[in-house]
Amino acid sequence: MNPKLSVIVPIYNAEKYLRQCIDSILSQELTEIELILINDGSIDSSGAICDEYARRDSRVKVVHGINEGVSKARNKGMEMALGEYIGFVDADDWIEANMYSEMLNMIKHYQADMGICGFIRDDGTIMRNRLLAVDTQMVYFGDTIKEQLLPTYISTIDLQGNRQAVKESSVWKCVFHKDLIKANQNFFNPRLKNREDVVFLFKR
């Protein structure tokens, strides 16, 4: 039986954050998860950490390759993904235990094609992004996706608990139905060095 969700993590020299990232994904309330770790030519211990988790948990798949950039790494993961839904987490992030269960519940409730969650960002000394459960207004479907996502305003919370609206167009806070991605094979453009997320979302 295929997993409900495939989570793709592109990894390059992320040993400082990687264990926390992987642990937060494998400890999700949603257990029907396939975790795809793409080691993009790391020269630190990231590759060994990935292999360690693959030995411990059958839900973990690892691909080792040369450094080709985050777009190609994510594309490799999408080609492998077996889940009905696909999500992305960056290797220096970690996620709340109920994030994916709540996002998929909202997607199902609204019969949507994708969902978006908020995030918490600090100054970088502790963590980069803390992904939260989806808000009801951040579930999109059908023809509204392009209009809403390029760019979209996401409600964020800082470490003092203050909410603010931030323009963001990043895939690490999204969950997509596989048909949005695989039906037309519109993956990430490997020629782009930045804002590849924006182009990817615009194609949806």
> What pLDDT shows up at residue 152?
44
For 133-166, letters b (16+ CB in 10 Å) and e give bbeeebbbbeeebeebbeebebebeeeeeeeeee
Tokens of 85: 């839904």
For 160-180, what is each residue's pLDDT tens digit? 455 444 445 577 778 888 887
Instruction: Choose between 44 and 111: higher pLDDT.
Output: 44
Kindly tell me the sign of the dihedral angle through the C-alpha atoms of 178, 89, 32, 111: negative
Q: Is residue 145 scored above 80 in pLDDT?
A: no
For 46-89, what is each residue's pLDDT tens digit? 999 999 999 999 999 999 999 998 889 998 999 999 999 999 99
What are the distances in angstroms from CA 50 to CA 19, 44, 97?
A: 9, 12, 20
> What pLDDT shows up at residue 77?
93
User: What integer best gives the mean pLDDT of the chain?
Assistant: 77
CATH code of 5-203, in short, is 3.90.550.10
What are the distances in angstroms from CA 13 to CA 10, 49, 91, 139?
A: 10, 11, 9, 33
pLDDT band at 159 (very low <50, low <70, confident <90, very high): very low
> What pLDDT shows up at residue 54?
98
> What pLDDT shows up at residue 116?
79
- Residue type, position 18, single letter: L
Sorted by where each begins, the domain ranges of the chain are 5-203
